[in-house]
Amino acid sequence: MDDWWRGCVIYQIYPRSFQDTDGDGIGDLPGIIARLDHVAKLGADAVWLSPIFRSPMADMGYDVSDYCDIDPLFGGLADFDALLARAHELGLKVIIDMVLSHSSDQHPWFVESRANRDNPRADWYVWADPGPDGMPPNNWVSVFGGPAWEWDSRRRQYYLHNFLTAQPDLNFHNPEVQEAMLEIMRFWLERGVDGFRLDTVNYYFHDRKLRPNPPASRDDPHPSVNPYEMQDHRYQKNRPDNLAFLGRMRALMDRYDERVLIGEVGETPQRAIEIMAEYTRGAGRLHMAYSFDMLGPEFSARHFRSRIAKYFKAAPDGWPCWSFSNHDVERHVTRWAKHAAAEDALARQAVAMLLSFPGSACLYQGEELGLPESELDFDELTDPPGIRFWPEYKGRDGCRTPMPWTKARNAGFTRGTPWLPIKAPQAARNVAGEERDAGSVLAFYRAMLAWRRSQPALGMGSVRFFKTAEPVLAFRRTGPDGMIACVFNLSASGVAVKLRELEPIVGAPVQDARIEGGVLRLGPNGFAFLAPTGGADAGRVVFKG
């Protein structure tokens, strides 16, 4: 079977914000089709579509009311088929978001389940009796704040919701629920999709005994903005039962050629890499997984080195997928701004580094333009946690604003009123403008992806880190065609690094780097790719000076 996913580059499309064609201000499938050439020209191997299923949109599509139909906001099944055909014509795989841990409270399954306690789907969701005092059965907290239990007057029971109250959790301990989810996956596999991105893949199973969560170990004595962060959610997610179901999903995928499962591991930095490794070890689980370890504020050589090394130590036969931005987090050029002298320099360094890491990579729409986070006012927000925790947490709308295509009205995204505003800093970084600039972030992304594709060591080679002090991250990737040394200055100040038997690779991407007398001098956010002058293992980065 072709392991095309190993070393691939996935481009995440947030459909609401990619391209609108009908003037309602919301992106749609015909709009994606019209803009797929941009993704192909960038050099990606696949697209991941955030949810497009029927939904009341309480959580922008992550609350599904029909898993086998397209929401009319985006089009219909015929539009999806046309998108799939066009993507395949362009050599792009199509991965769709599957939100299996919970559904919408408007899904027919939940409507039936909540009607009474003895209907055919009464046990399809997680229901629990109240305590003697009428309180929920335990202390579990929702990711979006407040108790994870909601009282239902019809059944006179509580139901579990790890997210919004409008997103009840399905009961995966029920074999019928597992079969229903596998059948949904079959529906889309038969339609021709190339894989699934599995939302909150570590949330499928809960502790049957509903044991209370212990408090989290925290260094900060002050309460968090979100009480969810105050617990160790050992009984609410990450249950060992998950592994058997992942095996069933993988067995289904293996009946089809060239398909892939990518899991989103929602977990704290203390455990995320461990779970990523556990879920991808061997041949009978996920093909790949990613976590939020590189989607946070940490930007240091120690951090990136430790995440990669820890993963491969725990899962030497596993495969990770790394990313720096997505629809759930602040865009990385804003998040890491204090480590950069200029946004564009950071944007170029970030993609050069990401595409040098062992594993696959995911790019989020707009990062190829160097888009910063949008600054929104409270009355412009749509994101539930942003509204709830404002102003300490401003939510996820800032990274979800529409894609800027041209300098025309609404940046060429819509002829109507966009569902989120397009601010001037984002509109200025439009695709058409950057295409005319040979020094733009977009031009660099295209060059970096093309060069990576020409270097087998970067796609599939092994990794070994050099011993360098902060802020220098240095490692070598070794493949059948030789070795590449990758050296990055993760700071806004210049650094010098001594080299032995290494020289610049002609034609390789580079930023603010020069070699003088065996010393590599890197300017702010500078980086270089080097090759050994002697044998395949001759090159060494000795120390930072």
Query: Which positions are annotated as active-site residues?
Result: 199, 267
**Bridge partners, residue 125, by sequence:** 170
3-class DSSP assignment, residue 47? strand
**Bridge partners, residue 364, by sequence:** 12
Q: Indicate the angle between helix axes 241-253 and 272-280, nearest 10 degrees.
A: 50
How far is C-alpha 86 from the chain's CA centre? 24
d(CA 220, CA 505): 46
Q: Which of 5, 100, 18, 77 is nearest to 45 (CA)?
A: 5
Phi-psi domain of 200 (left: phi exceeds 0; alpha: psi -120 through 50; beta: other): left
d(CA 186, CA 145): 34
What value, to the nearest 5°, has the Cα angle with vertex 442 and ends 440 and 447?
100
- Residue 200, both tokens: 């909150």
Q: Which of 139, 137, 115, 114 is nearest to 125 (CA)?
A: 114
d(CA 233, CA 229): 9
Whether the Cβ atoms of residue 537 and residue 483 lie closer than 8 Å to each other: yes
Whether the Cβ atoms of residue 401 and residue 17 lie closer than 8 Å to each other: yes
d(CA 537, CA 542): 14
d(CA 62, CA 14): 12
75, HSE (Cβ side, Cα atoms, 13 Å): 21
- Residue 271, both tokens: 């455990």
**Bridge partners, residue 497, by sequence:** 520, 544
Other beta carbons within 10 Å of 37 = 11
How far is C-alpha 241 from the chain's CA centre? 24
H or E element in which residue 460 lies = helix 456-460
H or E element in which residue 226 lies = none
Q: Which residues contact 474 (CB under 8 A, 6 or more apart)?
A: 301, 465, 466, 468, 485, 486, 487, 488, 497, 541
d(CA 169, CA 80): 27
- Give the torsion sign (CA, 156, 161, 166, 171): negative
Q: Which of 104, 14, 109 is nearest to 57 (CA)?
A: 104
- Residue 340, both tokens: 């950069």
